[in-house]
């Protein structure tokens, strides 16, 4: 019983490593650019709306 649990735990760990964050494999410069583009997308469409600015600030972690 204990061996089965250990096998399952090992399997889960290897699967978790495979399912890592897709950004983890990117170089840091590309990672930063991808995050910025994702957050800035809303703001770039209509930069005049206060609601968009609020959403951007929230997504960038300021609010």
Q: What pLDDT, in 10s, does the model give residues 32-58?
A: 777 777 766 655 555 566 776 777 778
Is the pTM higher than 0.75? The answer reads no
Is pLDDT above 70 for 23?
no
Residue 60, Cβ neighbours under 10 Å: how many? 13
Nearest to 39 by CA among 51, 56, 22: 56
């Amino acid at each position: 019983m204990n061996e089965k649990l250990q096998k399952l735990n090992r399997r889960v760990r290897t699967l978790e490593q495979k399912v890592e964050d897709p950004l983890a494999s990117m170089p840091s410069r590309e990672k930063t650019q991808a995050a910025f583009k994702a957050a800035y997308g809303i703001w770039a469409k209509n930069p005049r709306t206060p609601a968009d600015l609020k959403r951007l600030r929230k997504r960038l972690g300021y609010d």
